[in-house]
Structure 1
Amino acid sequence: MPGENLTRIEAQERRAIVSTDSYEVTLDLTTGPETFRSRTVVRFTATEGASTFIDLIARTVHEITLNGRAVDPSAAFADSRIALDGLAQSNELVVDADCLYTNTGEGLHRFVDPVDGEVYLYSQFEVPDSRRMFAVFEQPDLKATFRFTVTAPAAWKVVSNSPTPQPAIDGDSGTWEFEPTPVISSYITALIAGPYEATFSELTSASGRVIPLGVYARKSLWPFMDADYVFDKTREGFAYYEEKFDYPYPFAKYDQLFVPEFNAGAMENAGAVTFTETYVFRSKVTDAVKERRVVTILHELAHMWFGDLVTMKWWNDLWLNESFAEWASTIATAEATEWTEAWTTFNAMEKTWAYRQDQLPSTHPVVATIDDLEDVQVNFDGITYAKGGSVLKQLAAWVGIEEFFAGVSAYFKKHEYSNTELVDLLRELETTSGRDLSGWSKKWLETAGVNTLAPAITTDANGVITRFAVVQTAPADYPTIRPHRLGIGFYDLQGDALVRTHHIELDVDGDLTEVAELKGRRQPDLVLLNDDDLAYAKIRLDDRSLATAGAHLAKISDPLARSLVWGAAWDQTRDAESAASDYVDLVLQNIGSETESTTVRTTLAQLQLAANSYVVADRRDATREKVADGLWALAQQAAAGSDSQLQFVTAFASAAATPAHWETVRKVRDGEIAFDGLAIDTDLSWQLLVSLAAGGAVTAEQIDAALEADNTAKGGEFAAQAKAALPTAEAKQAAWSSLIDSDDLPNTIVRSAALGFTHPAGRDLLGEFVQPYFDMLLPVWDSRTYKIAEYLIAGLYPAALASRELRTATREWLGAHTGAPAALRRLVNENLAGVERALAVQERDAQ
């Protein structure tokens, strides 16, 4: 990635010189399968006589004209930049270039559908990739209007930020001339083009405007597109946000496009949101995935205000976009849709992610230090999204929810179509709440690390509480003690349920907070700190509560309380305070009664990590067999057609560890063992086949035959995963070579093959690739796009080995490459942290 970085200092210096007015971008998408023609006219003001640069990644630059003066491309265009000298006060720049389509999910991505050979395009520009489609001052605080004119095959649909006009047809081609956008940042501009199928609807905004709605997907997936449901959730989100924000939707229309080979869940392009096709359900999916789609729909919709209407000045305030959308989409899902337990899902998924990320050596404040574009790429992480969202939930509880929404509304109105910093939001919240947030911000947003809260309880001989206090601790490296607004719940066994019998809410601050109002109450069976999950902190259970949870976790009647206890048990395991083997037993004994799909999904993933990496090595094989046997029993006991039935069957297949297990998987896939209410549909059949491949129970030829029967993009991903999972040295080497020795594979195949390559069932074969892994790091970083490099560096790390030898090799590489790019070192350090934690937990498990 040489020459493509941009530092914050460079961006500030350029912003001091340049103010952008408008872009006119003319694209010709009919020039062949590798490149497209891109002509950009940029109008901007500048400091007279100054010099700066504009960004462009292109194969060839044909013409550069600045204020009517020709500029030699061979002299001015280098390292993805065009030098601009002798600027006038008012400037017009013309750049004519051939730009490259990508298959990495960055820039203008080109996909050929294996089903019918149709070509589909979509853009993905966050963080720095609009420069792959047109010449642009690529930084968020140089906003402008954008007018796109696009020539493409006449049979295509062409979508951008502005409403799609009628094309002018000329033979087999058409030209679409879009109206200019409002003033927006370049990274949320968009182009989606191809023979997409679409359906349309509309809604009436709070402003009285009629907002056109569209849902798009490619032809071969269209039969599975449940557009009416997407429209319903969109309407619910519009109504909720327009009421709570007291600001009408700011753009002319709202299209939602489900596109192939997408790297993320979705992207908030203004008025033209793109989503992963994972959200088009061609097979049965879990409720967790269904709910995640709703949260994602509402997450992107929230961005139309927070991020698109008002945008951060620089990427250190990326959290202002993502954390707010994370929090807003969860509260909207809980209060405006049928998914009323969204905060339980948030605890099980987002907070688990946040706590894990916040304990890595790469942890950082919510307001991160972002020195350049490479920094921001790796900061799309659990701090930016999940911790930030958790902190905003805490802030809303701290200032009051009505005051919070009122401050947000004032923020939108004051800063519409402009750029802001953290202080701009806090100022409005201080005005509406009357609270000074400077100290709160310093402790919560400007320092890193997660606190731990534990109860200190003493009782008399009759079990009556004589003292109750909350003890707060912080890790030595991040010693900040923070204020928390939290609940404390008392739970007692009543018949066949563990129910809440008392609850208080209070502010906790300092190392020790005495809670006098709980004195004189009988100690309950379970004390739950952070009841209702207002605070962001790890919690611990006292001995009595821990015993109750272990014996009766499934009997806790409230799903959010159960999720908090599940999380506490996992945190204590990860922190080597309790044995991984005990966690395995806890899950197998209680997960069968869990009703919340995301809690089941998250806990099953943690169960497999515990069995594969956290249990001491000499009983790991026995534990893996025990887990698979337990999951098979749970699958057989699950209600016919239930969400848990599907989750337990797929988890069993993933955990299979013996020839007998894989024979059972084969029988399920072939229909010799049937589950009432569970069809072996296309995706489940593939998941079972991946399991069989990992166990060496199928051949490469059988995988090819399955792909021939399902020659789709999704089938290709599963086939790549299955082949890479085959447990032979030849298969592993072939997978490695396809990923490292060639850069032809598209992003989703790279991701899938890496997942198969490191399948735990093939652990014994990974030792041969430890040295090749470290040998490839710098060449891959230097030659691949960021996203592909990330997939390879994180995905191919042989974490399944979880050994001292791997820890040593990783430390040695880091010690020998202190000058490697910081973003690369961060990824390797995170890999190392995972191994170091696994070794510590294994040591505890051996006791």
Structure 2
Amino acid sequence: MPGANLTRVEAQERASIVSNPQYKVSLDLAQGSQSFLSQVEVSFDSMKRGASTYLDLIASQVTLVELNGVSLDPEDVYRDSRIELKGLKTHNVVKISAICDYSRTGEGLHRSVDPTDGHVYLYSQFEVPDARRVYAVFDQPDLKATFDFSVVAPESWTVLANMPVESTESIEQQTEPGTLEKAPAQSCKRWVFKTTPKMSSYLTAICAGPYAEWTTQYANEDGRTLPMGLYCRQSLKEALDKDVEYLFDITQKGFAFYAKTWGVPYPYAKYDQVFVPEYNAGAMENIGLVTFRDQYIFESKATGAKINRRVETVLHEQAHMWFGDLVTMKWWNDLWLNESFAEYMSTLATAEATDWDSDWATFCSGEKSWALREDQLPTTHPIVAPINDLHDTEVNFDGITYAKGASVLKQLVAYVGREQFFEGIHNYLDKHAYGNATLADLLAELEATSGRDLKAWSAQWLEQSGINTLSSKLSVDADGTINSLCIEQSASDEFPVLRPHRLAVGFYNMNAQGKVVRTERFELDINGESTQVAAVVGKRKPDFILINDDDLTYAKLRLDGDSLKFAQENLYRFEDPLARAVILLSFWDMTRDGEYPAADFVALVLKTLSTERQSTTFRYALSQLDTTAHQYTAIEQRPEILQQVAEGLWHLAEQAEAGSDEQFQLVEAYLGYGDDQDFEDHVHAMLNGSSDLVGIEVDNNMRWSLIHALASQNMVSDEEIQAELDKRDTTENREFAMGARAARPVKAAKAWAWDQALHNAELTNSQIGALADGFSASGDEDLFATYIDKFFSCVDWVWAHKTFHIAETLLNPLSAGGLYPYKADPATLVHAGEHWLSEHEGAPNALRGMIIQNVESSKRTLRVRTYNEGLRK
């Protein structure tokens, strides 16, 4: 893990010295395929004359350091990714020249070569500490500065930065002495960009390459005409062109919604969105230059869930322009606030400003289930987590930071009132524009507008770990009249805090058409161990009672006995997609906790899928079905259940509307089983066009899904996979082919995938991910038995020799994917993992966290499987 690990104390000390920084950054991207020239002039004031400080830089070579006109020997002042600056004056000017390396890992300045046409594409990714991989910088969020960028690149390229271009000029290429290779002769151009407003370094960005381009304008709410652009690789131009109008429309709706909701127009000079290859994240909120993973460009048919997610992602990054970019956290401990707020607002905007009006059901099924899963791990942490250094941030880009935080913000809006909440947000943005702020600053504004005391609320919701369970206890007279409805709240022994909740109770009944609909709703505050719902006393008991109706609060739910039974039999009849999502999530949580039989959950999901139309709920139900059938069922019952699921999915696909999203998802899910006798015939029939299943188009991605499915059952050879790739060699298809080869459930395939993922330095981050996922996702316990010791033996080496994102891909903290052999015997995995942890008590928190989560996943599998095996005795 290269680079000095900046601590919070060091950042505070540096901020007490450095003020008013300004940067002039010149990058020469025409120096070859390995490295580029970075030249920086930094001017800043020192609040302590004679003090010392340092710039952050990760470079292969520093060729010039000049402080206030005095040349310094780079070997004397550059070490451990820091350039030491001593004897500061009141005003200082530093000049740095360095040779920096392109990345293949999606960090810093990533360089990708598209095999389709040989074009080269560059893009930057700087969050958290990676601007220093491209230029010398005070790389911390509270040292906001202005930036002047100029970039030399091949003349045929497009170069983008945070601000519009001020000028361009053609120049003669010059190869810098000290670069690793002699660049081929080519015509070059220098792009000079306008000066940025004050901003944090992690939000600066550069994209360069022969990107395809579309432009339009937006009539901004402050009277300006705002230039907007969309960009992608040339090989994806045709695919994106079909969606350009739609994406521009979504973006414009986002601008209008946010400006109206907060009363603050979009503050920056332009808004470009660039779809880039081999991207680690979903997207990044660089000011005026948002980058997205280009898997969001759909060459092949995509699920509604994925299209919905793209809309959310566009609106998530757009929300950051105000919350995170205009007003930025002082230190990374408030990272959660940036991400949680953008997650909450993007869901709200998607539901209220686009055609995806069931997006709160999407949030419940996707984001909230992610939060519940991570909040029940030993690695859970408060939403406001202590961040003592940069390494601590590595453990906090997680379901607590994003999804739990957004769930709690939804609860906060219910608690203080929507109008009061957004009035407070307006005041916060207005007061701290172009500066830095803290959670305390935000809560002060919300207290002023709502009249609620949020210090106690924050202490319980934001500063304490863990999740509460809400259970409904119902008492009914013989004639069906309710005489008591009590909501009981409990907490774990480890995190015994009880919280205030603003929630709703919904009454649901089956109507004459056989649909279950809400007939009454009651909203109230609850607190403590027990709260009586006085408003329902004397009313007739409905068919079903939902105690977190509209999903206002964040908690685990346990339904009363009659409601549980009714939902088990009739969930597929519920009309409201959000109610269905909340109820299904409760059943899933019970299944994961070993409180509901796996076989019953399988039956429930298969029945529910027959009528479910909310795409993300559908997607997550299929995922939960997969985990339950493959991991949680009793071993002796598993073959029977896997066959039941495979046949059930195929039958549902036959019954689904031809060409529908549901049919598409059902077929994709079916391909993950291979447990029915017709599997090979079904797959080959779809491949050769003879299938009786009407409506499935075998496009590029579906074809690779079919190849992968055959590979995972050892029904296709490496040679056949290579022949398929040779038909169309693209970035995406190379990844598909690697994943398919790794998925073959034979020793040779797993050994090859293991070696390639760990030791092939030519692979991209995305190729490594495809290999790791293919390695772990197919095969039986015996096949993975030898990889238990191999995994724990290589952990230290991976951490020492790979960047954080590659280490995360390989060591993967979740149950599926990565090189963790989660399909091996869970008891043996737990034993080996606990031994590693006991031997590595001093390991970095991020590394220990990954291993702890892996071990906990195996513990849960063992625990839930044991519960289901006990039901058969």
1:661 Cα offset (Å): 1.7
The residue aligned with 2:333 is 316
Structure 1 residue 191 corresponds to structure 2 residue 214: no
Q: How does 1:130-149 map to 2 (within 5 A)?
A: 130-149=131-150
**Partner Cα distance (1:277, 1:120) in 2:** 12
CA deviation digits over 1:243-286, x for unaligned, max 9? 11111111000000001111111100000000111111100111
CA-CA distance at 1:35 after TM superposition: 0.2
Distance 1:824 1:583 in 2: 34
Question: 2 CA distance for matches of 1:20 and 1:586?
Answer: 61
SS of residue matched to 1:801:
coil
1:291 is aligned to 308
Distance in 1, Cα, partners of 2:130 & 2:2: 15
Match of 2:322 among 305, 314, 325: 305
**One of 799, 816, 824 as aligned partner of 2:847:** 824
Separation in 2, partners of 1:588, 1:502? 29
Select which of 389, 405, 420 maps to 2:437. Answer: 420
Look up the match of 2:719.
701
Distance change in 2, residues 1:751/1:708 (3 Å): same
Q: Is 2:753 the partner of 1:730?
A: no
- Partner residue in 1 for 2:178: none
- Partners of 2:675 and 2:203 lie apart in 1 by 46
Note if 1:404 corresponds to 2:421.
yes
For residues 692 and 17 of structure 2, what CA distance do their matches in structure 1 show?
Answer: 69
**Matched-pair contact (CA < 8 Å) for 1:613–1:802:** no
3-state SS, counterpart of residue 120 of structure 1: strand
What pairs with 1:630-669 in structure 2 (closer than 5 Å)? 630-657=648-675, 660-669=678-687
Q: Match of 1:21?
A: 21
| CA distance, structure 1, for counterparts of residue 288 and residue 780 of structure 2 | 45
Matched with 1:220 is 235
Separation in structure 2 between the aligned mates of residue 72 and residue 659 of structure 1, nearest angstrom: 72
1:176 alignment partner in structure 2 = 191
- 1:798 to 1:400, Cα distance in 2 relative to 1, 3 A: same
Query: Take 1:333 and 1:582, find their aligned partners in 2: how far apart are those partners?
Result: 34
Distance 1:580 1:386, change over 3 A: same
Residue 802 of structure 1: how far off its partner (Å): 5.1
Percent of paired sites with the same residue: 49
Code of the residue aligned with 1:679 in structure 2: it is E
Greater CA deviation, 74-83 or 592-601?
A: 74-83
What is the aligned counterpart of 1:529 among 522, 534, 547?
547
Aligned letter for 1:269? N
Q: Aligned-pair distance for 1:10?
A: 1.4
Aligned equivalents of 1:299, 1:819: Cα separation in 2: 37
Instruction: Give, in angstroms, the shift of residue 463 of structure 1.
Output: 2.1
Closer/same/farther in 2, CA of residues 671 and 763 from structure 1, 3 Å limit: farther
Spell out the pairing of 1:57-68 with structure 2 (5 A cutoff): 57-68=58-69
How many Å separate the matches in 1 of 2:42 and 2:630?
55
**Residue 569, structure 1, aligned to residue 584, structure 2:** no
Counterpart in the other structure of 1:380: 397
Question: How far apart in 1 are the matches of 2:675 and 2:429?
Answer: 54
Q: Does 1:586 align with 2:601?
A: no
Q: Which residue of 1 is the match for residue 820 of structure 2?
A: 797
Matched, 1:83 2:84: yes
Give 1:811's aligned residue: 834
Letter in 2 for 1:605: S
| Shift in Å, 1:112 | 0.4
**CA displacement at 1:744 relative to structure 2:** 2.7
1:538 corresponds to which residue?
A: 556
Q: Relative to structure 2, which stretch is displaced further, 449-458 or 675-684?
A: 675-684
- CA displacement at 1:8 relative to structure 2: 1.3
Q: Is the 8 A contact 2:780 2:824 kept in 1?
A: no
1:812 maps to a residue whose letter is H
Q: What do the CA deviations read for 1:3-44 (whole angstroms, capped 9, x no partner)?
A: 432211211121122124211000000000000000011111
**CA-to-partner distance for each residue in 1:528-575, whole Å, 9 max, x for gaps?**
111011111111111111111111111011111011110010011111
Counterpart-to-counterpart distance in 2, 1:696 and 1:725: 8
Q: Tell me, yes or no, if the aligned pair for 1:578 and 1:844 is still in contact at 8 Å.
A: no
Q: Whole-Å Cα distance in 1 between the matches of residues 640 and 373 of structure 2?
A: 27
Ranges in structure 2 where 5+ consecutive residues have no aligned partner: 173-186, 813-817
State the partner residue of 2:176: none
**Aligned residue type for 1:177:** V
Which residue among 756, 770, 776 is the counterpart of 1:752? Answer: 770
Q: Secondary structure at the match of 2:136?
A: coil
Which of 839, 842, 846 is the aligned partner of 2:862?
A: 839
Distance 2:97 2:489 in 1: 60
Partners of 1:103 and 1:747 within 8 A in 2: yes
In 2, Cα distance between equivalents of 1:144 and 1:820: 35
1:478 matched residue in structure 2: 495
**Partner residue, 1:332:** 349
Aligned partner of residue 272 in structure 2, secondary structure: strand
Q: Of 784, 806, 824, which aligns to 1:788?
A: 806
Does residue 451 of structure 2 align to residue 434 of structure 1? Answer: yes
CA distance in 1, matches of 2:650, 2:534: 48
Q: CA RMSD in A?
A: 1.1
Q: Distance in 2 between matches of 1:621 and 1:757?
A: 22
Number of residue pairs aligned between Structure 1 and Structure 2: 847
User: 1:659 touches 1:695 (CA, 8 Å); kept in 2?
Assistant: no
Counterpart amino acid of residue 629 in structure 1: E
Q: Secondary structure at the match of 1:796?
A: coil
> How far did 1:763 drift?
4.3
Instruction: Quote the offset at 1:2 in angstroms.
Output: 4.6
Distance 1:624 1:164 in 2: 58
1:506 shift after superposition: 0.5
AA partner of residue 806 (structure 1): L
**Contact 1:725 1:762 (8 Å CA) reproduced:** no
In 2, Cα distance between the equivalents of 1:713 and 1:4? 34
What's the offset of the Cα at 1:675? 2.9
Instruction: State the alpha-carbon separation in 2 of the partners of residues 116 and 11 from structure 1.
Output: 45
Q: 1:706 to 1:20 in 2, by over 3 A?
A: farther
Code of the residue aligned with 1:556 in structure 2: it is F
Match of 2:11 in 1: 11
In 1, the alpha carbon distance for the partners of 2:689 and 2:135 equals 53
**Counterpart Cα distance in 2 of 1:702 and 1:264:** 32
Gaps of 5+ in 1: none
Match of 1:41 in 2: 41
TM-score normalised according to structure 2 size: 0.96
Q: Secondary structure at the match of 1:472?
A: strand
Amino acid across the alignment from 1:749: Q
Once the 2 structures are TM-superposed, how far is the Cα of residue 660 of structure 1 from its aligned partner? Answer: 3.7
Give yes or no for contact 2:646–2:676 (8 Å, CA) kept in 1: no
Superposed structure 1 runs of 4+ greater than 4 Å apart: none
Which of residues 201, 215, 228 is equivalent to 2:216? 201
CA shift, 1:170, in A, is: 2.6
Q: CA deviation at 1:431?
A: 0.9
C-alpha distance after superposition, 1:713-742 (max 9, x if no partner): 110111111011011111111111111123
Q: Deviations over 1:650-669 (max 9, x none)?
A: 00001223564233222222
Q: CA deviation at 1:759?
A: 1.3
Find the counterpart in structure 2 of residue 600 from structure 1: 618
CA distance in 1, matches of 2:7, 2:302: 42
* Aligned AA (1:335): E
The aligned amino acid for 2:835 is: E
One-letter code of the match for 2:451?
Answer: G
- Give the 3-state SS of the residue equivalent to 1:655 in structure 2: coil
Matched, 1:611 2:626: no
Q: Tell me, what secondary structure is at the counterpart of 2:394?
A: helix
- CA–CA distance in structure 1, aligned partners of residues 406 and 692 of structure 2: 42
2:380 maps to which of 335, 344, 363: 363
Q: CA deviation at 1:220?
A: 0.4
C-alpha contact (below 8 Å) 1:481/1:511 kept by paired residues: yes
Q: Distance in 2 between matches of 1:808 and 1:710?
A: 45
Aligned to 1:121: 122
Residue number in structure 2 paired with 1:446? 463
Q: Secondary structure at the match of 1:425?
A: helix
Question: 2:621 and 2:20 mapped to 1: Cα distance?
Answer: 49
